[in-house]
Amino acid sequence: MSANNRIGYLQKVIAYTDTTSVDVGFLPPNSYVTGVKVLVTTDFTDGVLDVGKTGTAAYYADDVSLNGTGSKSVTSTSAWGNVESTADQTTITAIVVATGTGLAAGSAKLVVEYAYID
């Protein structure tokens, strides 16, 4: 019997108040991140988003601009394609970082795509 390859998604609404790490969800064992998308619905004006895992805030995406609305360009960091967990779940996290005079508004939808074998 062969293993089944699956694609999964984690979604989280990110607010301008998420300036400490928030949990997005969990990767199942034997999975790896294949993409990150950020859809800004309300302009943050002065902010960026880091997407990572517990202990490494910018493991998957670093300094994604949250200025303006619409789909944002996300460049991977070093980890895409690496198996993230062989025995345990891996917590995916996100954090908004102020880049200017401060954050007074902002909302975005974060989508993390991953592949796994069940």
pLDDT tens-digit profile of 34-84? 889 999 999 998 999 999 988 888 889 999 999 999 999 887 765 666 666
Q: What are phi and psi of 57, to 5 degrees?
A: -60, -35
pLDDT of residue 37: 94
- Number of helices (H), then strands (E), belonging to the chain: the values are 0, 8
Which CATH number characterizes residue 40's domain?
Answer: 2.60.120
- The residue range of the domain holding 39 is 5-117
Helix, strand or coil, per DSSP, at residue 93: strand
Total count of domains within the chain = 1
pTM value? 0.89
- Judged against a pLDDT cut of 80, whether residue 27 lies above it is answered with yes
Q: For residue 89, give the DSSP letter.
A: -
Q: d(Cα 67, Cα 71) in Å, to the nearest integer?
A: 11
Q: d(Cα 34, Cα 113) in Å, to the nearest integer?
A: 6
Q: For residue 3, give the DSSP letter.
A: P
pLDDT, the chain, mean:
88
